[in-house]
Amino acid sequence: KNKNSCFDEEAMSYVNKGINPIIFSGLNIAVTSDESRAINFIDTPKIIISASGMCEAGRIKHHLKHNLWKPENTILFVGYQAMNTLGRSLVDGAKTAKLFGEEVVVRAEILVLPGVSGHADVDGLDKWIKSYEMPPKKVFVNHGEDSVTEAYKDHLRNDFGLNAFAPYSGAELDLISGEFKNTTPIKIVKKTGASPNYQRLLSALDRLTALVNKSSGLTNKDLAKLTDTINNICAKWND
């Protein structure tokens, strides 16, 4: 990989030929939320590339709601899934997932493609540590699951002779005394989203959007009738 570029040699060969390596034939970019939701109502086979990687927010939740329960589908994870996230629960074999207030049965195939995460592995972190001309006085390992950070902390102590720590979230170090405060682990409280009824309303919006997107072939009479129905609903609830 060229250290001055985000692409490797193969990708740079395309760039030098004037070819964008991340744009290809058949790729359709959904810019708006409505365009993204409409994908779920297209019956032809497709690959949906969506964020967020841990399935905690954004358009991915709509895609999961419409596709998790279908056994012919595959959900492929290509990034790290942190504890207490929806993505992690799916990777760990959850049988159901709660999406927009509804329990969705997991029938799709769940697969993981390792090695694609942008985080450095042990060898990469070791190389970074070794690059210091003078060893750091203290090293704090603060990103990762508890078991992993503890293991890497021990590795730094035992194999590098470094004064390494793996503090819990919320811990404080007194720079004068060198002592830690607030070392008790903080219990993770999962944030609650909007009410189930509001999530049902959003799901109804998805269906309405899909209906409108499919209505271009209707007769003028049916189009007028559908339009009047939608306008009447809007007028009723705007009062």
Whether a cis peptide bond, with omega within 30° of 0, leads into 52 is: yes
Q: What is the model's pLDDT at position 96? A: 92
Q: Which amino acid is at 174?
A: D
Angle between helices 220-238 and 196-213 (to 10 degrees): 160
In the chain, where does DSSP find H-type helix? 9-16, 33-38, 60-67, 86-91, 122-130, 146-160, 196-213, 220-238
Percent of the chain with pLDDT over 90: 22
Q: Residue range 71-100: average pLDDT?
A: 89
Predicted TM-score of the model (pTM): 0.55
Q: What is the model's pLDDT at position 3? A: 52
Reference 86, options 112, 118, 53; nearest CA is 53
Residue 139: phi, psi to the nearest 5? -125, 130
Separation CA 62–CA 85 (nearest Å): 16
Give the DSSP per-residue string, 46-115: -----S-TTSSSSTHHHHHHHHTT-TT-EEEE-S---TTSHHHHHHTT-SEEEETTEEEE--SEEEE-TT
Residue 2 confidence (pLDDT) above 60: no
Q: What is the model's pLDDT at position 194? A: 58
Four-residue CA torsion sign, 150, 153, 158, 164: negative
Q: What is the model's pLDDT at position 185? A: 65
Split at pLDDT 50, 70, 90, the class of 156 is: very high
Model confidence over 102-144: pLDDT tens digits? 889 999 999 988 766 666 678 888 998 999 888 888 899 987 7
**Could you tell me the maximum CA-CA distance found in the chain, to the nearest angstrom?**
80
Q: What is the model's pLDDT at position 192? A: 56
Beta carbons of 105 and 70 less than 8 angstroms apart? no
Separation CA 106–CA 87 (nearest Å): 12
Q: Residue range 39-63: average pLDDT?
A: 86
Cα separation of the two ends of the chain: 61
Q: Count of alpha carbons within 13 Å of 1, Cβ hemisphere only?
A: 6
Q: What is the model's pLDDT at position 181? A: 80
Four-residue CA torsion sign, 8, 11, 14, 15: negative
Q: What is the model's pLDDT at position 158? A: 93
Model confidence over 163-175: pLDDT tens digits? 998 888 778 888 8
Phi-psi region of 143 (alpha: psi -120 to 50; beta: other; left: phi over 0): beta
β-bridge partners, 112:
77
Q: Residue range 173-183: average pLDDT?
A: 80
